[in-house]
Copies of this chain bind each other. A is one copy, B any other.
Amino acid sequence: MLFQRFESEGLAHYSYMVGDGERAIVIDPRRDCQVYVEAATRAGLGITHIVETHRHEDFVIGSVELSNRTGAKVLHSSYDELQYSCGCRIAEGEAIKLGGLRLEPLHTPGHTRGHMSFVLRDASGEAWMVFTGDTLFAGDVGRCDFYGPDKLTEMAGLLYDSIFQKTLPLGDGVIVCPAHGSGSACGTAIAERPWTTIGLERRLNPMLRLTDRSEFVQRAARTLDYPPYFRQMERLNLLGTADLMPQPRLLTVKEFLQRMPEAVVLDTRMDVAFATGHVPGSLSIWEQGIPGWAGWFIPHERPILLVSDGNDVTAAVRMLYRMGYDRVEGFLAGGMLSWHKAARESQHYATVDGRELCKLLGGWQELWILDVRSEHEVQQLAIPGAHHIPLNWLPERIQEVPRDQAVYIVCGTGVRSTTAASLLQRAGRNDLTVVLGGLAGWNAAGCPMRAK
């Protein structure tokens, strides 16, 4: 018997492989799908089926590519619009046999109309696991706002029925396997509970405590941020794509400069390195942050040029590829050091640690502090008087940041602040200071806090 969960770091996307006898199945595969082939090979299994719980919006699904590599059949929901040609359909009542195991689909609309969950039953017929896709997460439920405000209440109602009438009755002991963990853009408040069960969710998930249907619907019928890249993901996931990972070119400083005018320059180094000096106009997203943030700030049609510390850029390219960025055209040979050695113009900004900022605050009173954390985080704890613009909305709300004043940028630990600083510099702000250690350091230093 083979059961394996695959976590795509940064994206907080979970995919799963289950196998028994001679065959394995993959649920919601990611685009760089060599990992599934390797795991199956080690276990001596063929991959014969791929199932998708729904059409994902936050990453590019790997079904077509994995099917090309294995000959596996791709199964879509019968309750949904037709998807790409190589896919087939599966409906409630049908099941996939894997040795002694059975995987049974469950139509669970709410997040999307055709959303399917899958129940894994053992030889005795007992439910063991349920793959809930984007309906039920640890500590949260899926969003219901993809069909517009008119349908919000209807979809939230469907979600209630799916969870309360189909999923929870499977029993408290059943293990819940969602498509996302903490940190995903598909839920506002997915909990840091890497493994969970129906019983745990019934006790700990605030949404599941709302057993009254209308109360649940009222709370679930919320409209959340709709990142610009979701549309692009949906398009790709509707058509299916099998493009291979791009291989960006090795570029000298000179070649890099020639390609710069049309491109987005993406610097993947950590915060402290970026602060000291970077290519003017470059966007900073640290490597692990790409899945969460690239989609907000990089249009899919623009070519991308990478700047690193001189190391291999494959991990960054892979993360961009998972988000549908297939135009990663080059990277700077030797990284930022080459840029400095060639004496090309560079930009920088200041940094300060929490303890120092705290002292400054006491003296000058009037520092303009920009907090770029999420609404959810700010509600827990914040710096009194700080201005709050969540990182993802910074480009839209950039006019709120003053031009004539020093701006101190703060986030959780200092990495998101760096992305914010790069966005502000691109928008012409110059007097910027990033707070190292972020709120964590601020808090540890005993500086004044406000719990909202």
Contacts and interface: CB of A to CB of B under 8 A. Distances in A.
Interface residues of A, number: 93
A291 interface: no
Interface in A333-365: 333-346, 348, 351, 353-355
A450 to B, nearest CB: 18
Contacts of A83: none
A195 B192 CA distance: 18
A65 to B, nearest CB: 9
Interface stretch (A122-130, A140-148, A220-228, A392-400): A122-130
A341 B440 contact: yes
Contacts of A171: 172, 199, 203
A442 interface: yes
A173 B193 contact: no
Given A273-B272, A341-B440, A250 B353 contact: no
Contact of A195 (B175, B250, B351, B437): B175
A22 interface: yes
A430 interface: no
Interface in A420-443: 436-438, 440-443
A163 interface: no
Contact of A337 (B44, B195, B342): B44
A437 B341 contact: yes
20 contacts: A1-B182, A41-B310, A41-B311, A42-B310, A45-B252, A45-B334, A47-B250, A48-B252, A69-B249, A122-B204, A124-B204, A128-B193, A173-B200, A173-B202, A272-B273, A272-B277, A276-B276, A340-B413, A343-B354, A343-B446
